Amino acid sequence: MPEDVLVIENNLIQSHIPGKNACLLRDASGHIVNKIMENQMFMERDEAEYNFSHKQVIPYVTIRYGNDYLLLKRTKKQTEKRLHDKYSLGIGGHINPGSPDSEDNIIMQGLYRELNEEISLHEPGGLHFIGIINDERNSVSRVHLGLLYVLDVLSSGFEVLETELMTAQWMPKEKLSDYYPSFETWSQIVYDYYIIENKILT
C-alpha cells in the first residue's frame, strides 16, 4: 500500500530560506511552520523522493540530558542504505495523514509517533522548537525539510524499541566531535549550527 507523506511546495517557503547549501534557520516568527500548516498537502512517498518542486517535512528530535546528547547509530537493517552505520543526533520520520480526533497538530502527531516507535524515555521533559534544517547539497536532502526540536529529559533512563534498526548511548558534548565524520548530514548541521557554535541563521 502506498505511503502518503506531508510535503510543502518549494515556492511557498523559498523566500524565507537563505541561499546557502546547508543551514539551520531560526524560524522565530513561524513563517515556514505556518506555511506548512496552512498548505497541508500529501504525496505518495515514491513520487515525493524525486519531486524537486516539493520538500518532504521531517520532524527531527535531538534528545539531551544535561551536557550529554543521545547518540544513535543506524544498523544495516535500516531501509535507507545511505544511513547504514551512520551516527545520528536525531530521531525523525515522515509525517503521514493524522487522526482528526487528536488534540495535537499534524506535525506533533508525526513527531510523537516516531519517538514512541523508536525509543522509550523514562522521564521526558520539555520539548523546544529550534529551527529549520535545509540542505541543498545532494538529490536526497534537496527533497526534505527538517524541523529541529530538542527534547530535554529529566533522567538518563531509556530503552531503544527498534533494536534491530539502531543502538543508542549518551555522549558528552565534548566527545561528539569524535563521531562527526560518521554523522549523517543533518546531524552535522545540528552539531555545527546549534550544539557547538549556536550560529542559527535568522
Q: Indicate the pLDDT class of residue 28, thresholds 50, 70 and 90.
A: confident
What value does the mean pLDDT of the chain take? 91
Per cent of the chain over pLDDT 90 is 75
Q: In b/e form, how buried is each residue of 52-74, taking b as 16+ CB within 10 angstroms?
A: eebbbbbbbbbbbbeebbbbbbb
Domain assignments of the chain as residue spans, ordered by start: 4-196
Which residue type does 138 have?
Answer: N
Q: Indicate the pLDDT class of residue 165, thresholds 50, 70 and 90.
A: confident
Q: Indicate the pLDDT class of residue 103, thresholds 50, 70 and 90.
A: low
pLDDT at 130 (0 to 100): 95
Partner residues linked to 189 by β-bridges: none
pLDDT at 79 (0 to 100): 64
pLDDT at 48 (0 to 100): 97
With respect to CATH, is domain 4-196 assigned 3.90.79.10? yes
pLDDT at 1 (0 to 100): 81
Of 57, 171, 54, 161, the residue nearest 109 (C-alpha): 57
pLDDT at 13 (0 to 100): 93
Partner residues linked to 167 by β-bridges: 73
**Average pLDDT of 129-141?**
92
pLDDT at 101 (0 to 100): 66
- Report the C-alpha dihedral over residues 6, 93, 136, 15, rounded to 10 degrees: 40
Integer CA distances (angstroms), 54 to 8, 12, 47, 72, 202, in order: 5, 9, 10, 28, 22
pLDDT at 114 over 70: yes
Cβ contact 60:147 at 8 Å: yes
Least confident piece of the model among 25-34, 111-120, 158-167: 25-34
